[in-house]
């Protein structure tokens, strides 16, 4: 049996792995599943059709799996799916999805959500992201892997942030941020490349050099976007880090932060 504090309220229909720990005054709803080795702190509320993987740690007063803050939501049986090894600090909030947005809010593995951060309905968060204190993700936002958002920043709905993007504290992001880039300000503008982050994630100097050249072609030249992409394909196509950048930019629907 899971280790459940006597003051916690766990619905009989909830499914908890035998190694799960549930702290005092926590509340866990009927449709909740929690995986091996996860620890649920005091006063945490987990509700909705929420699936939490292994080795997650959820700190006091977090509200996980609550109804979307969307006026169109009418009680549909949507989901929140959280992977393994995530940390949700005090008073974080993560909402289930909406029928109009695909029905699932999805979080990957090994992410850190600092205190008071918010993940709205139908968001997709990849792996290894850091969402600092009081960051707000609006609905349908996509964070790819290893994105870092500084404290008090916010992301507009339907916006995508590419892998290894870095958003400075207090920034208001209203358009897509290309992979590897740093953005800052209100409204956020590009401020260069996240070179330190790339180095920490094992990118070689040769790879970083190609990314720097691609950045110049995309954002510093006077080429139209289609021309810049064509040049990147012709000169550096076949390099995985460049092919990914080209695909991301080509698929942008909101437009790019520049």
Residue 195: the pLDDT is: 98
DSSP assignment, residue 116?
Answer: T
Distance CA 81, CA 108 (A): 8
pLDDT by residue, tens only, the chain of 258 residues: 899 999 999 999 999 999 999 999 999 999 999 999 999 999 999 999 999 999 999 999 999 999 999 999 999 999 999 999 999 999 999 999 999 999 999 999 999 999 999 999 999 999 999 999 999 999 999 999 999 999 999 999 999 999 999 999 999 999 999 999 999 999 999 999 999 999 999 999 999 999 999 999 999 999 999 999 999 999 999 999 999 999 999 999 999 999
Angle at alpha carbon of residue 108, lines to 214 and 188, rounded to 5°: 45
Distance CA 198, CA 210 (A): 12
**Integer CA distances (angstroms), 175 to 55, 211, 217, in order:** 34, 21, 19
Residue 109: the pLDDT is: 99
Question: Which two tokens mark 16?
Answer: 């908890």
Residue 164: the pLDDT is: 98
Residue 1: the pLDDT is: 83
Q: What is the 3-state secondary structure (H, E, C) of 9-75?
A: EECCCCEECCCCEECCCCEECCCCEECCCCEECCCCEECCEEEECCCCEECCCCEEEECCCCCCCCC
For residue 55, how many other CB atoms are within 10 A of its CB? Answer: 17
Coil, strand or helix at 252: coil
Q: Which residues make Cβ contacts (< 8 Å) with residue 10, sequence separation at least 6?
A: 2, 4, 16, 22, 26, 27, 28
Is the peptide bond prior to 166 cis by the omega test (within 30 degrees of 0)? Answer: no
- Burial label, 13 (beta-carbon count in 10 A; 0-12, 13-18, 19+): exposed
> Which residues are the active-site residues?
121-122, 139
Q: Which H or E element spans position 196?
A: helix 195-200
């Amino acid at each position: 049996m899971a280790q459940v504090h006597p003051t916690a309220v766990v619905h009989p229909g909830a499914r908890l792995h035998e190694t799960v720990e549930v702290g005092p005054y926590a509340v866990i709803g009927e449709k909740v599943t929690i995986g091996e080795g996860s620890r649920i702190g005091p006063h945490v509320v987990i509700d909705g059709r929420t699936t939490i993987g292994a080795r997650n740690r959820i700190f006091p007063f977090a509200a996980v799996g609550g109804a979307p803050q969307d006026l169109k939501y009418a009680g549909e049986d949507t989901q929140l799916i959280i992977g393994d090894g995530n940390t949700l600090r005090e008073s974080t909030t993560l909402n289930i999805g909406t029928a109009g947005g695909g029905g699932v809010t999805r979080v990957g593995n090994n992410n850190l959500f600092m205190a008071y951060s918010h993940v709205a309905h139908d968001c997709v968060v990849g792996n290894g992201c850091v969402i600092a204190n009081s960051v707000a993700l609006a609905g349908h936002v996509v964070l790819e892997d290893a994105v870092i958002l500084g404290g008090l920043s916010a992301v507009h709905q339907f916006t995508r942030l590419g892998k290894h993007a870095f958003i400075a504290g207090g920034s208001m992001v209203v358009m897509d941020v290309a992979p590897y880039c740093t953005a800052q300000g209100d409204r956020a503008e590009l401020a260069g490349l996240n070179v330190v982050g790339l180095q920490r994630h094992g990118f070689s100097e040769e790879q970083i050099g190609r990314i720097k050249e691609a950045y110049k072609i995309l954002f510093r030249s006077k080429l139209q976007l289609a021309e810049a992409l064509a040049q990147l394909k012709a000169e550096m196509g076949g390099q995985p880090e460049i092919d990914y950048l080209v695909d991301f930019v080509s698929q942008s629907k909101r437009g790019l932060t520049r």
